[in-house]
Amino acid sequence: MPLSGSLSTDRELNPFAAEVREGLSWQPRKQLPCQYFYDATGSALYEAITVLPEYGLTRADTRVIRRLAPALSARMPTPVAVVELGSGSGAKTRRILESLARRGPVDYYPIDVSASALARCAQEMAAFADVHPLAESYMDGLRRAADARLPGQSLLVLFLGSTIGNFERPAAQDFLGQVRASLLPGDALLLGTDLIKPLARMLLAYDDPAGVTAAFNRNLLGRINRELGGNFVLRNFAHEARWDPIHHRVEMHLRSLKAQRVSIRAAAFECDLRKDETIWTESCHKFHPEEVREMAAAAGFECAAQWLDDTWPFAESLLTA
């Protein structure tokens, strides 16, 4: 059989291979999609990042949620179903489920593309809720959970940890609009966003001196080697974190330390990198609290409350439909 040339067919067969080929062919700047960071190695490295002294984001998020959980659960109409976009790391979500469970039975729909993350989450949360794991995209999962809504049940959607920061701003705005469209009056979205803070602090959080974030970044190339038969030499790439003052985001890149050619067997792809050429691997957008309120309003939400952490500027915003 001849090699198929159709990208749309390839995308269905192996979306990772198709996206890698597309991203590394991108002009003027090569890029790779950040959702592929999280294989088993990448997920473990991210867990390590969350406990680094320089990376305050996760601790701030956890502190804010501990503080807001009682007020949040008091204002949700019962019975309630909780839908989480990206099955959360235990501590944060548990606070909320625990608090809601004191008022009545809770259905919990964790949504994640990673089956292992879902399984772990289901086990951890079973004590506080009826868990219905959904292994699909955020919007497909949310629609499915909304369709399963019982009469009179309200929906609380959780999008924590500033994952929304990975979207470009127009895509983030669009995403909020889509979430809003699947909710009814009385439903709510709890949205976590990392806030703009002094430059040195933001950069250090993505370029820690122990090199954990560098390892996390390079592991994306390692994953391509393992799963797609790539031949990246990880040591030939330097980790870089940059602040983009126009888009208010920290960007992560991998800089080629020399002119080199790489090939990726399963993507039937070869490419050349110039010395100092970079592959853009992630954007982490940072926000002002009022920008979050404006985005919410533009998507048809009302910002009912905002809680901030003062040690590490971070916001949780309660957006009601």
Four-residue CA torsion sign, 297, 91, 58, 309: positive
Closest to ligand AVJ by CB, 24 or 49: 49
Q: Per CB under 6 A, which of residues 35..64 are in contact with ligand AVJ?
A: 49, 57
Q: With respect to ligand AVJ, which residue has the nearer C-beta, 49 or 146?
A: 49
| 163, 140 contact by CB (below 8 A) | no
Helix/strand/coil (H/E/C) assignment for every residue in the chain: CCCCCCHHHHHHHCHHHHHHHHHHCCCCCEECCHHHHCCHHHHHHHHHHHCCCCCCHHHHHHHHHHHHHHHHHHHCCCCEEEEEECCCCHHHHHHHHHHHHCCCCEEEEEECCCHHHHHHHHHHHCCCCEECCECCCHHHHHHHHHHCCCCCCEEEEEECCCHHHHCCHHHHHHHHHHHHHCCCCCCEEEEEEEECCCHHHHHHHCCCCCCHHHHHHHHHHHHHHHHHCECCCHHHEEEEEEEECCCCEEEEEEEECCCEEEEEHHHCEEEEECCCCEEEEEEEECECHHHHHHHHHHCCCEEEEEEEECCCCEEEEEEEC
Task: Please tell me the total number of residues recorded for the chain in this structure.
Answer: 321
The yes or no reply on residue 65 touching ligand AVJ (CB under 6 A) is: no
Using the rule CB under 6 A, give the single segment among 134-142, 159-167, 262-270, 290-298 that binds ligand AVJ: 159-167
Query: What's the min distance (Å) between Cβ of 242 and ligand AVJ?
Result: 13
Closer residue to ligand AVJ, CB minimum distance, 38 or 269:
38
42 vs 230 by CB, closer to ligand AVJ? 42
Residue nearest to ligand AVJ as judged by C-beta position = 284
The residue among 25 and 137 lying less far from ligand AVJ, judged by its C-beta, is 137
Q: Should residue 166 be labelled a site residue for ligand AVJ when binding is judged by CB under 6 A?
A: yes
Closer CB to ligand AVJ, residue 216 or residue 232? 216
Question: How big is the site for ligand AVJ, counted in residues (CB under 6 A)?
Answer: 12
Instruction: Give the footprint of ligand AVJ on residues 183-222 (CB under 6 A).
Output: 206, 213, 216
* 284 counts as binding ligand AVJ under rule CB under 6 A: yes
Structure tokens at 282: 């992630």
Report the residue number, 154 or 278, with the smaller CB distance to ligand AVJ. 278
Instruction: Give yes or no for residue 231 binding ligand AVJ (CB under 6 A).
Output: no
Write the interaction track for ligand AVJ spanning residues 243-282; mark x where CB under 6 A is met and - where it is not: ---------------------------------------x
Shortest gap between Cβ of 154 and ligand AVJ (angstroms)?
A: 27
Taking the complex as a whole, how short is the minimal distance between the CB of residue 152 and ligand AVJ, in angstroms? 34
- Minimal distance, residue 284 CB to ligand AVJ, in Å: 3
Nearest one of 218, 209, 223 to 237, comparing CA atoms: 218
Written as six digits, the tokens of 187 are 């439903």
Among 41, 43, 163, 173, binds ligand AVJ (CB under 6 A): 163
Q: Does 165 bind ligand AVJ (CB under 6 A)?
A: yes
162 lines the binding site for ligand AVJ (CB under 6 A): yes
295 phi/psi in degrees, rounded to 5: -60, -40
Binding residues for ligand AVJ, rule: CB under 6 A, are 49, 57, 161-163, 165-166, 206, 213, 216, 282, 284
